[in-house]
Amino acid sequence: MYQQSCKILNIKIGSSDAEIKRAFRKLAIKYHPDVSDKPQTVKKFIEINRAYKYLSEPEAYTKFINRHHQTNKPKENSHTYKSTYDESMAYKKKKEENLPDPPYYIDFMVRIMERFYDYIIILLGLFLTIVSPVYYIFDEEYTFENIGIMPIIMPTITGIALTAGMFYYMISNNHIFAIKVKMFFHILFGTK
């Protein structure tokens, strides 16, 4: 009831008596039956009066706070898990220890991906960039008349974007490969 009354008067929970009175007067002037003869305004005016009467009681806010604390108070018998950082990390470690070991080939692939994912993405980008034009050059049935230009351009553009994006990521994170390639181009073109 307290929250609903605050919503009706458009005030914050725990507002002072002066704020409640100011909000009531503002809304009462707006929705008074003498100002407007619409049936909605009369209902609204009655709601505003009820909300103001309820909020004017000195115990209204105290009752609300007491009820709110009782509903949010954890029960003594409930097993709520209030953990610190150390407890949560210990729980995570224990859970990981109880997991079964993955098959060797999956573990091997995950380790390769963790270590070489940037190289794999660059190779995938280069593959997409090169294969489609090369396939177009060497395959006699793969012509513009048969397939159009989109099957050649789209993989090439995707490959270029993938390679450039990954290379930019590697440069911004000071990856050794990216630094060596950058130095190679500086030496090749004579720039610093």
**How much is the pLDDT for 62?**
59
6: enclosing H helix or E strand? helix 2-9
User: Per the structure, how many domains does the chain have?
Assistant: 2
CA 151 vs CA 120, 124, 146: distances in Å? 23, 17, 11
**How much is the pLDDT for 72?**
55
Supply the mean pLDDT for the chain.
75
pLDDT tens figures, 159-176: 999 888 888 888 888 888
Q: Given phi > 0 = left and psi -120 to 50 = alpha, else beta, which region is 10?
A: left
**How much is the pLDDT for 145?**
76
Q: What is the CATH number of the domain that holds 42?
A: 1.10.287.110
Is position 98 within any domain?
no
pLDDT tens figures, 80-97: 445 567 777 777 777 777
The Cα–Cα gap between 24 and 8 comes to 9
Q: Are 133 and 178 members of one domain?
A: yes
Least confident range of 103-107, 168-172, 181-185: 103-107
Is position 121 within any domain?
yes
pLDDT tens figures, 18-47: 777 787 778 777 777 777 777 777 777 777
**How much is the pLDDT for 1?**
66
| 22 CB neighbour count, 10 Å cutoff | 14
Return all residues near 171 (Cβ < 8 A) that are at least 6 apart: 178, 179, 182
Rg (CA), the chain: 35
Global model pTM greater than 0.85: no
Return all residues near 3 (Cβ < 8 A) that are at least 6 apart: 13, 64
Is residue 182 scored above 80 in pLDDT? yes
Range of the domain at 155: 104-189
